Amino acid sequence: MSCVSALTRWKQPPQVARTGQPEGSMLAKVIMLKKSWNTVASAANYVVDDLKKAAEQPEPGHYGPEDGANYLARDGVLEAASFNMEGLNPTDPDDRRQIIKWTDSTARAWAARSRAHPKTNPFYHVVLSWKAGEQPTVDQATVAAAKALKAVGMADNQAFFAIHRDKDHHHHIHIIANRVHPEHLVLTGPPRYDFLVLDKTCREIELEQGWQHDNGPHVVIDGQIKRLTHALRRQFGLETDKSLAPHAPAVKARMGEVKAGLPSLAGWLNNKVAPELVATQNWQEFHRACVARGLRVVKVKSGLIFETDMLDKVTQTKASAVHYALSLGRLQKRFGEYQPPNIPIGQTSSTNRSIDGATYNDYVARVACGTDPDSQEYPGCTGRGEQRDQARMDRAIARTALFEQYKSEKYTAKDNRKAARLELRELHKAEKSDLLQQLAASKTGTLAHLQNQYGSQVARLLWAAQRTAAMEDLADRQKRERLALTHANAMEWLPWLERQAALGNEAAISALRGLRYRAQRDKTKQKAGIEGEDLGHTAPAASRENSIRGTVRPDDFDIRTAQLRITPEHCIEYLDTHGTVRLTDNGPRIDLAQENDPQAMHAGLLLASQKFGGEVFVTGSLTFRELAAKEALQMGIKVKNPELAFLAAEKTRDKELEL
- Residue 595 has phi, psi (to 5 degrees) of -70, -40
The 3-state DSSP composition of the chain as helix, strand, coil percent (nearest 5) reads: 50, 15, 35
pLDDT per residue as tens digits for the range 179-211: 999 999 999 989 988 989 999 999 999 999 988
CA distance 473 to 218: 49
pLDDT per residue as tens digits for the range 461-505: 888 888 888 998 999 899 999 988 887 777 888 888 888 888 888
Predicted local distance difference test score (pLDDT) of residue 111: 86
- 53 pLDDT more than 90: no
CA distance 422 to 440: 27
Q: Which of 210, 199, 182 is nearest to 105 (CA)?
A: 182
Predicted local distance difference test score (pLDDT) of residue 32: 73
CA distance 162 to 53: 14
Instruction: Tell me how far CA of residue 533 lies from CA of 513, 514, 590, in angstroms.
Output: 12, 10, 11
Domain boundaries defined on the chain = 3-240, 251-369, 406-501, 522-658
- Residue 636 has phi, psi (to 5 degrees) of 80, 25
- 19 confidence band (pLDDT: 50, 70, 90): very low
CATH number attached to the domain at 3-240: 3.30.930
Strand order in the sheet with 313-318: 296-300, 303-310, 313-318
Tell me the angle at which helices 622-634 and 645-658 cross, rounded to the nearest 10 degrees: 40
3-state secondary structure of 286: helix
- 283 confidence band (pLDDT: 50, 70, 90): very high
- 246 confidence band (pLDDT: 50, 70, 90): low
- 26 confidence band (pLDDT: 50, 70, 90): very low
Helices (H), 304-344: 319-322, 328-335
Partners of 31 in the β-ladder: 125
Q: Which of 189, 209, 155, 182 is nearest to 27 (CA)?
A: 209
The larger pLDDT score, comparing residue 426 to residue 231, is at 426
CB atoms closer than 10 angstroms to residue 212: 19
pLDDT per residue as tens digits for the range 378-429: 665 665 677 777 877 888 888 889 988 888 888 777 778 888 889 999 999 9
Predicted local distance difference test score (pLDDT) of residue 407: 86
- 6 pLDDT more than 50: no
CA distance 528 to 629: 12
Q: Which of 72, 73, 74, 92 is nearest to 82 (CA)?
A: 92
CB 85 within 8 A of CB 102: yes
540 burial via Cβ count (<10 Å: 0-12, 13-18, 19+): exposed
pLDDT per residue as tens digits for the range 617-642: 888 888 888 898 888 888 888 888 88
Predicted local distance difference test score (pLDDT) of residue 1: 56
Bond preceding residue 136 cis, omega within 30 of 0: no
- 264 pLDDT more than 50: yes
Predicted local distance difference test score (pLDDT) of residue 375: 66
| Ramachandran area for residue 193 (φ above 0: left; ψ -120 to 50: alpha; else beta) | left
Q: Which of 233, 241, 200, 193 is nearest to 218 (CA)?
A: 200
DSSP 8-state class, residue 373: T
CB 462 within 8 A of CB 419: no
CA distance 146 to 169: 24
Predicted local distance difference test score (pLDDT) of residue 250: 66
CB 528 within 8 A of CB 624: yes
Q: Which of 208, 242, 219, 211 is nearest to 13 (CA)?
A: 219
CB 157 within 8 A of CB 182: yes
Strand 615-619 with 638-639, pairing: parallel
CA distance 341 to 286: 9
Q: Which of 604, 652, 653 is nearest to 632 (CA)?
A: 604
Predicted local distance difference test score (pLDDT) of residue 103: 92
- 17 pLDDT more than 70: no
pTM equals: 0.59
Predicted local distance difference test score (pLDDT) of residue 351: 47
CB 616 within 8 A of CB 638: yes
Q: Which of 29, 199, 49 is nearest to 126 (CA)?
A: 29
- 550 pLDDT more than 60: no
Q: Which of 121, 117, 189, 120 is nearest to 154 (CA)?
A: 189
Strand 214-221 with 3-4, pairing: parallel
CB 619 within 8 A of CB 553: no
Predicted local distance difference test score (pLDDT) of residue 12: 33
Strand order in the sheet with 529-531: 563-566, 572-575, 581-585, 589-592, 529-531, 615-619, 638-639
| Burial per residue of 586-623, b for 16 or more beta-carbon CB atoms within 10 angstroms, e otherwise | bbbbbbbbebebeebbbbbbbbbbbbbbbbbbbbbeee
CB atoms closer than 10 angstroms to residue 104: 19
Predicted local distance difference test score (pLDDT) of residue 7: 29
CA distance 68 to 495: 7
